[in-house]
């Protein structure tokens, strides 16, 4: 148990150094010995944390040189939540979500209970109430998708949805402050109406339209140099 906790502590420390901008893409990070001294955990725990981040394409070990923060051009889907993502990468994610979200809502309606649909209704009302608070709005918006993902009863969908939440949280300034809440409020409302009617086909259509609208707005922001 301690070993796992120590590895998580080391992992969180390294991630915090990257997210705070202390270590930027291409920078060489501290050595294992230096990390042990800074964090106060074993070298084994530090090594495990580094290996985990190498697997995620957050770090890159160069033999005979050291460990570096990966360049953004080489980042993976999982590392986008830590390294941050530019407009092109966010557009690729949205293109995938157009298919992913629409299928999820169909699967959700296959298994969803009345209680889960009621959770979505409550979530949507909170979304409307928090439209002027971007930080809270973002969390509520992502929760809408998490409820649907959990309702699919598919562990892989749930995990991917969680990763999306992490990515969009890491890039919330660009996404929500540039695109705004109007798109989410309108299309989530339409999705919810279809879900309450148990109409999977219409709910999936609105899920795709929501992502398409986000893609259009993001492309416009990119052309204006605002993302």
pLDDT of residue 144: 94
pLDDT of residue 179: 63
Give the chain as a 3 state SS string.
CHHHHHHHHHHHHHHHHHHCCCCCCCCECCCHHHHHHHHCCCHHHHHHHHHHHHHCCCEEEECCCEEEECCHHHCCCCCHHHHCCCHHHHHHHHHHHHHHHHHHHHHHHHHCCHHHHHHHHHHHHHHHHCCCCHHHHHHHHHHHHHHHHHHCCCHHHHHHHHHHHHHHHHCHHHHHHHHCCHHHHHHHHHHHHHHHCCCHHHHHHHHHHHHHHHHHHHHHHHHCCCC
Which domains are seen in the chain, by residue range? 2-74 (1.10.10.10), 85-223 (1.20.120.530)
CA distance 45 to 56: 17
pLDDT of residue 1: 45
pLDDT of residue 171: 64
pLDDT of residue 79: 85
Whole-model pTM? 0.76
Q: What are phi and psi of 62, to 5 degrees?
A: -110, 115
Contacts of 57 (CB under 8 A, 6+ apart): 70, 74, 75, 76, 78, 79
pLDDT of residue 142: 87
pLDDT of residue 175: 58
Place of tokens 């609208």: 213
pLDDT of residue 76: 81
Region for 69 from its dihedrals, namely left if φ exceeds 0, alpha if ψ lies in -120 to 50, beta otherwise: beta
- Report the chain (227 residues): mean pLDDT per 10 consecutive residues: 77 93 94 96 95 93 95 81 80 91 96 95 96 86 93 94 78 60 91 97 96 89 74
Contact criterion met (CB below 8 Å) for 91 and 201 = no
Short-list 198, 176, 179, 169, CA closest to 80: 169
């Amino acid at each position: 148990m301690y070993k796992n906790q120590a590895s998580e502590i080391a992992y969180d420390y390294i991630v915090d150094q990257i997210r705070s901008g202390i270590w930027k893409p291409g920078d060489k990070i501290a050595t294992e010995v230096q990390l042990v001294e800074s964090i106060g955990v074993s070298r084994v725990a530090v090594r495990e944390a580094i290996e985990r981040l190498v697997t995620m394409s957050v770090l890159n070990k160069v033999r005979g040189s050291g460990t570096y923060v990966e360049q953004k051009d080489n980042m993976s889907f999982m590392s986008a939540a830590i390294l941050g993502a530019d407009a092109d990468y966010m557009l690729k994610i949205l293109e995938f979500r157009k298919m992913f979200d629409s299928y999820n809502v169909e699967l959700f309606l296959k298994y969803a209970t009345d209680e889960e649909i009621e959770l979505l209704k409550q979530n949507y009302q909170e979304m409307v109430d928090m439209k002027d608070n971007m930080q809270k709005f973002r969390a509520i918006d992502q929760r809408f998708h998490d409820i649907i993902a959990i309702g699919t009863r598919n562990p892989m969908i749930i995990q991917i949805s969680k990763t999306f939440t992490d990515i969009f949280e890491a890039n919330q300034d660009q996404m929500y402050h540039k695109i705004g809440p109007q798109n989410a409020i309108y299309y989530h409302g339409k999705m919810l109406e279809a879900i309450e009617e148990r109409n999977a086909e219409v709910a999936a259509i609105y899920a795709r339209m929501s992502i398409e609208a986000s893609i259009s707005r993001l492309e416009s922001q990119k052309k204006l140099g605002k993302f």
